[in-house]
Amino acid sequence: MHQRTRIKICGLTREADVDAAVEAGADAIGLVFYARSPRHVTLERAVALAQRLPSFVTPVGLFVNADPAEVRAACEAVPHLLLQFHGDEEVEHCKAAGRPYLRAARMAPGFDLLHFAGQYATAQALLLDAHVEGYGGGGKAFDWSLIPPNVPRPVVLSGGLTPANVTDGVLQVRPWAVDVSSGVESAKGIKDPLAIRRFCEAVREADARIASAGS
């Protein structure tokens, strides 16, 4: 039986955007601790934004090759922070803070996702993003047919998702969750509340179509 697709809105920098994500029904929000990102927030800002969340919306901290002390400080400051590693972190680095974590995989032709999943068997899920220069997908989609069947970890579909294509993404990939950042923005780091709502509605439409098909 198909489970409801979870929704993560990433790269939030403003209180209004956090409120818009919660109101639209997002399950998680992403807070970027990578200093080179235009969506970067300081730990102080992250704490303030996370404090606006109701109990059942999860704050996710995105890190890229961060010092373990920085990760620990974020965990101490933001209760229930789910970690997301987007750099070259080995599994021991991901496990060091003792928190559940997502591991980003940069999808490209020839990338062995099944081997990668075996390496990160302790990850709560694998976040599949486009392979571009630098870290993160840069708002680019990847070829979803690169995803092999029977990935042994839950999959979070990311990379270039928008309100216009996320329904197709859910129908084709059947991910555990979807993740969007630039696809619901009016400018880098500035979210569009209408786009957030449309994105969430498009995910629900896909779930309804899957349920009505009996699969």
**Contact partners, residue 148, CB within 8 Å, separation at least 6:** 113, 114
Catalytic residue check, 129: yes
Assess whether 207 carries a catalytic annotation: no
Say how far apart CA 129 and CA 83 lie, in whole Å: 16
Q: Please identify which of the residues 10, 17, 27, 200 carries the catalytic annotation.
A: 10
Reported as type and span, the H/E element at residue 77 is helix 68-77
Token digits of residue 15: 């209180």
CB 68, CB 89: distance < 8 Å? no
**Dihedral of CA 89/94/97/100: which sign?**
positive
User: Is residue 90 classed exposed, middle or buried when 0-12, 13-18 and 19+ CB atoms within 10 A define those classes?
Assistant: exposed
* 206, two tokens: 């896909």
> Residue 118 and residue 194: Cα distance in Å, rounded?
39
Among 17, 27, 94, 129, the one annotated catalytic: 129
User: How many CA atoms are closer than 13 Å to the CA of 140, on its beta-carbon side?
Assistant: 14
Tokens of 118: 């075996």
Query: Looking at the annotation, which residues are catalytic?
Result: 10, 129
